[in-house]
């Protein structure tokens, strides 16, 4: 740990990493009592680092056009050619910050197979946790819940608190029994964030080239 801290200033992302670590630490203080607030803090911890690490990130042109499909469709209705319509959609996409895409991409790129082993800190039945095949979908679900909470005041689903104590809330049982895709517990997401932040900064410190150049 001492060696890591002494080397940390060598990373171009040292300030962002320390800010993320502060948010992560506060989340752990609240994870057992306020899972919704802990979730928000953990998501912010990721955004703090992913925003800088993936500063120049943008999806493929096809994805950008799909994101601005309304612009493309309107241009076609007005009689523009397919090529011109696509160009307009790409131009409109330049204003996008792709925050959600950066969030998901950062976590997927920096979480290894260890994530799918048993958690020794927070214990929750495996059947309640996302699997490897559903990882991207689970991360998208997490970010969408964050947006609903931040912009509309909606609560995180009750299953977000699973694994933080010995009790199983009745609301969580109802969500589990509903048959709908289950929202990931904050205890699982805490592990995702921890692994991603540590791997990213460790790789950056050991990389002969700035890691952001490889990502961008």
Tens-digit pLDDT profile for residues 144-202: 998 888 888 888 888 888 777 666 666 766 666 666 678 899 999 999 999 999 999 99
Distance CA 80, CA 88 (A): 10
Please report which confidence band the pLDDT of residue 216 belongs to, taking 50, 70 and 90 as the band edges. very low
Name the token pair of 114: 């260890």
**pLDDT tens by residue, 122-135:** 777 677 788 999 99
Name the token pair of 112: 């290894």
- Cα Rg, the chain, nearest whole Å: 20
pTM of the model: 0.82
Determine the number of helices (DSSP H) and then strands (DSSP E) in the chain. 11, 0
The domain spans of the chain are: 2-57+99-215, 59-97
Please report which confidence band the pLDDT of residue 96 belongs to, taking 50, 70 and 90 as the band edges. confident
Contacts of 61 (CB under 8 A, 6+ apart): 86, 90
């Amino acid at each position: 740990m001492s060696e890591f801290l002494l080397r940390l200033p060598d990373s171009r992302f040292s300030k962002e990493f320390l800010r993320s670590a502060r948010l992560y630490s506060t989340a752990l203080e609240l994870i057992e009592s306020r899972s919704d607030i802990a979730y928000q803090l953990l998501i912010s911890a990721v955004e703090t680092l992913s925003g800088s690490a993936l500063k120049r990130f943008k999806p493929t042109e096809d994805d950008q056009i799909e994101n601005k499909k309304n612009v493309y469709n309107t241009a076609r209705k007005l009689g523009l050619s397919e090529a011109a319509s696509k160009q307009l959609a790409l131009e409109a996409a330049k204003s996008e910050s792709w925050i959600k895409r950066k969030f998901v991409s950062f976590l997927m790129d920096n979480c290894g197979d260890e994530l799918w082993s048993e958690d020794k800190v927070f214990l929750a039945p495996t059947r309640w946790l996302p699997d490897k095949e559903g990882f991207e979908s689970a991360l998208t679900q997490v970010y969408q819940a964050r947006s609903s909470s931040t912009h509309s005041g909606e609560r995180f689903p009750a299953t977000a608190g699973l694994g933080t104590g010995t009790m199983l809330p009745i609301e969580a049982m109802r969500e589990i029994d509903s048959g709908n895709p289950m929202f990931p517990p904050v205890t699982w997401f805490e592990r995702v964030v921890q692994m991603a932040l540590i791997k990213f900064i460790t790789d950056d410190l050991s990389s002969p080239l700035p890691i952001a150049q490889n990502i961008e």
